[in-house]
């Protein structure tokens, strides 16, 4: 099936599209295909996901995955997103099949000039509405990470070598400097 821009798709029609490694989301039936991220963005995604994966695997906490992977937040409203990184606890691994059917416990969005505003507002709103517990907004330019506890509606900025505190990953000790230390 070719993407027919302007035509609304169901979740099933979206899933019938040819596989792609490009970022693509279904927003209330409309396919959104932003441009591919730049190298600095992907370098931070790689470092962050590697650190998260190692932390989660050592403690057998659940599953970490990087985009592109479809996260179906609402099948009826045809809302499918692709967070840069996601984590699902072992207790909730049943939501993972060929896709993630429901809200991950943690999402990580690495902000870029083209996505920062949307990630901080629209996407964060969806994550809150559909039950994501925590979202990390990684601001490469500010060299900071904003941890948003979506259940408690609290936000804390972390900079430098200050250890990030996470409700979802309470044993996490990495700092923004460590996470953002990309070659």
- Tally the C-alpha atoms within 13 A of residue 84's C-alpha that lie toward its C-beta: 28
pTM reported for the whole predicted model? 0.91
In a domain, 67, yes or no: yes
CATH of the domain at 132: 3.90.1570.10
Would 112 be classed as within a structural domain? yes
Domain count, the chain: 1
pLDDT top residue among 19 and 101: 101
Torsion of CA 32, 76, 82, 16, to 10 degrees: -70
In a domain, 25, yes or no: no
What is the tens place of the pLDDT at every residue in 163-183?
A: 999 999 999 999 999 888 865
| 55 confidence band (pLDDT: 50, 70, 90) | very high
**Residue 52 placed within a domain:** yes
Interacting residues of 163 by C-beta distance below 8 A, sequence separation 6+: 172, 173, 174, 175
Examine the pLDDT at 52 and tell me if it is beyond 90: yes
Residue 3 in this model has a pLDDT that exceeds 90: no
Please tell me the distance from the alpha carbon of residue 2 to that of residue 16, in angstroms, as a whole number: 10
Does residue 169 belong to any structural domain of this protein? yes
Is 92 within a domain? yes
pLDDT-derived band at 20, boundaries 50, 70, 90:
confident
Domain with 115, as residue range(s), is 37-179
Report if residue 13 sits inside a domain: no
């Amino acid at each position: 099936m070719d993407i027919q821009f302007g035509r609304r798709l169901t979740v099933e029609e979206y899933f019938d599209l040819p596989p792609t490694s490009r970022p693509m989301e279904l927003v209330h039936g409309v396919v959104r295909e932003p441009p591919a991220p730049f190298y600095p963005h992907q370098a931070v995604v790689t470092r962050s996901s590697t650190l998260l994966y190692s932390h989660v695997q050592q403690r057998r906490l659940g599953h970490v995955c990087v985009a592109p992977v479809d996260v179906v937040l609402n099948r009826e409203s045809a809302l499918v997103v692709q967070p840069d990184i996601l984590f699902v606890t072992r207790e909730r691994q049943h939501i993972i099949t060929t896709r993630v059917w429901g809200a991950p416990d943690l999402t990580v969005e690495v902000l870029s000039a083209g996505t920062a505003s949307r990630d901080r507002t629209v996407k964060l709103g969806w994550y809150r509405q559909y039950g994501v517990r925590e979202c990390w907004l990684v601001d490469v330019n500010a060299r900071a990470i904003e941890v948003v506890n979506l259940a408690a509606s609290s936000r804390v900025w972390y900079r430098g070598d200050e250890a990030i505190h996470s409700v979802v990953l309470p044993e996490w000790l990495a700092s923004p400097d460590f996470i953002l230390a990309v070659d």
